[in-house]
């Protein structure tokens, strides 16, 4: 695939918008009908959110250092296997999922955990599936070897 014809993986809705929209919906549902399933773990949730921000920052830095635009609707100039990409093929999306988990811990409600599950499903189907198909076509055997070596999430 040449750079001139490469239009990226075709992700239409930005992943941060997906994760944010789902968790806002979970928060609204929680305000309408709270289903407490455990005590709020505010400190633990805050630590998980801090960890998620650090992971996303580290992953974006690795992408930028490799010459890639971190937006998933843009073509990739290079395959990245350094930084957090050594441990996860999707560390940015793992960071979004960790942020949702931190919120669920802080709320201690059913809606928060449903939000985590829905966020996972939407990121996996609407974003990661398209990106993986794109990367396999763009980088061929090198991506398939990376995919065999590194887990999707962690």
Q: Is the pLDDT of residue 5 over 90?
A: no
Q: Which of 24, 16, 86, 7 is nearest to 52 (CA)?
A: 16
Q: Is the pLDDT of residue 19 over 50?
A: yes
Domain layout of the chain by residue ranges: 34-149
pLDDT band at 68 (very low <50, low <70, confident <90, very high): very high
Share of the chain above pLDDT 70, in %: 96
Q: How far is CA 31 from CA 25, 35, 101, in A?
A: 10, 10, 18
Q: Tell me the pLDDT tens digit for each residue of 43-59.
A: 999 999 999 999 999 99
Average pLDDT of every residue of the chain: 95
Question: In Å, how far from its chain's centre is CA 135?
Answer: 16
Q: Is the pLDDT of residue 6 over 80?
A: no
Partners of residue 36 on adjacent β-strands: 109
CA atoms within 13 A on the CB side of 89: 19
Tell me the pTM.
0.93
pLDDT for residue 2 = 46
The whole-number average pLDDT for the span 134-149 is 97
């Amino acid at each position: 695939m040449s750079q001139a014809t490469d239009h990226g993986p075709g992700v239409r809705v930005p992943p941060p918008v997906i994760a944010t929209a789902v968790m806002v919906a979970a928060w609204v549902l929680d305000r309408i009908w709270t289903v407490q399933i455990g005590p709020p773990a505010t400190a633990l949730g805050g630590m998980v959110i801090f960890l998620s921000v650090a992971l996303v920052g580290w992953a974006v830095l690795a992408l930028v250092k490799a010459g890639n635009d971190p937006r998933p609707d843009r073509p990739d100039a290079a395959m990245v296997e350094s930084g957090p990409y050594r441990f996860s093929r999707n560390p940015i999306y793992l960071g979004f999922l960790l942020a949702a988990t931190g919120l669920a811990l802080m709320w201690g409600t059913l809606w928060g955990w449903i939000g985590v599950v829905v966020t996972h499903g939407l990121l996996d189907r609407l974003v990661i599936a398209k990106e993986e198909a794109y990367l396999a076509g763009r980088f061929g055997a090198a991506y398939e070897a990376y995919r065999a070596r590194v887990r999707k999430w962690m």
